[in-house]
Structure 1
Amino acid sequence: MTVPRNPPPGHLRHSNFDRTMSTAVLLIAHGSRRKEANDDLHKLATIVSERGSYSIVEIGFLELAEPDIPQGAARCVERGATTVLMSPYFLSMGRHVASDLDDFCKQFVAKYPNVRFHVCPPLGLHEKVIDVIFDRIGEGEAAI
């Protein structure tokens, strides 16, 4: 699936963040019993690594698939990350997801006291998500 209006490779829009070898992105998804659904997160990790110029991009599933979130975080740290940006691949975070991520962060901080963890906002009602929804609705209309 191609999402419209992607930035060019190696460019991350609206970011002045200094991406270094010690900054990792941990993409988080719910997880599915269907392998092909989980494979999408692996594909997304490759895209984020290439377009965002991150040398460390890992994935973690909340449940139903491996690696789980703690395993994904551990992989980030093992690869040299001192900062882990946890990016939820959810349209919204239900109460249990937000609570679970908070619990995971507390565990990470206790286990890796020299590593900074930050949970990025979910996709939610971001204007670009709404634009993509309207694009998809337009594609549906055109197919009828």
Structure 2
Amino acid sequence: MQTAILLVAHGSRRDEANDDLVKLAKMFTEATTDEIVEVGFLEIAHPSIPEGLQACAERGAESISILPFFLSPGDHVTRDLANFRDRFLAQTPQIACHVCPPIGLHSKLVELMLLRLSEGRQLATEVAGETE
């Protein structure tokens, strides 16, 4: 069975923010070489979520996992993504499709945030040293 991952983010007017999802998709492609990996944005940026789902289908996906690049299970994850899934399934009932949980609270998230805290403090120290 050909499976696919649709990485989903909110979408931003800043290209740099949207580029992160594209870079993440490349990382997923390298890590999961046997899966189709596509991206979709909830709003503002392209491809949209329906376009991303369609791209997965056109590439031969028989099952699609919608994987949100969101921290919390807010309305976008719990309601909006389910609506996109349901509309897709109504048009393509032969393809299985489900929404995965968001990143959420996880012990690895604490490790990552402590790393970012350390990096931020180091940067602040360097900037303060430059201004003295």
Aligned match for 1:79, one of 55, 59, 67: 59
- Paired letter, 1:27: L
- Report the CA distance between 1:41 and its aligned residue: 0.8
Indicate yes or no: 2:25 matched with 1:42: no
Deviation at 1:64, TM superposition (A): 0.7
Aligned position for 1:6: none
Deviation of 1:122 (Å)? 0.5
**Counterpart residue number, 2:106:** 126
> What's the secondary structure of 1:70's corresponding residue?
helix
Q: Indicate which of 32, 39, 46 corresponds to 2:12.
A: 32
Aligned-partner residue type, residue 8 of structure 2? I
- Gapped runs of 5+ residues in structure 2? 126-132
TM superposition shift of 1:130: 1.6
Distance 1:122 1:139 in 2: 25
Q: How far apart are 1:120 and its partner, in Å?
A: 1.1
- Gapped runs of 5+ residues in structure 1? 1-19
Offset from partner CA, 1:36-65 (integer Å, 9 cap, x none): 111111111010010122441000000010
Query: How many residue pairs end up in the alignment?
Result: 124
TM-score, structure 1 as length reference:
0.81
- Note the C-alpha offset of 1:131: 1.1
TM-score between the two structures when normalised by the length of structure 2: 0.88
Q: Percent identity?
A: 50
Q: Give me the CA root mean square deviation.
A: 1.3
Which residue identity is paired with 2:99? V
Cα 1:131–1:98 change in 2 (3 A) is same
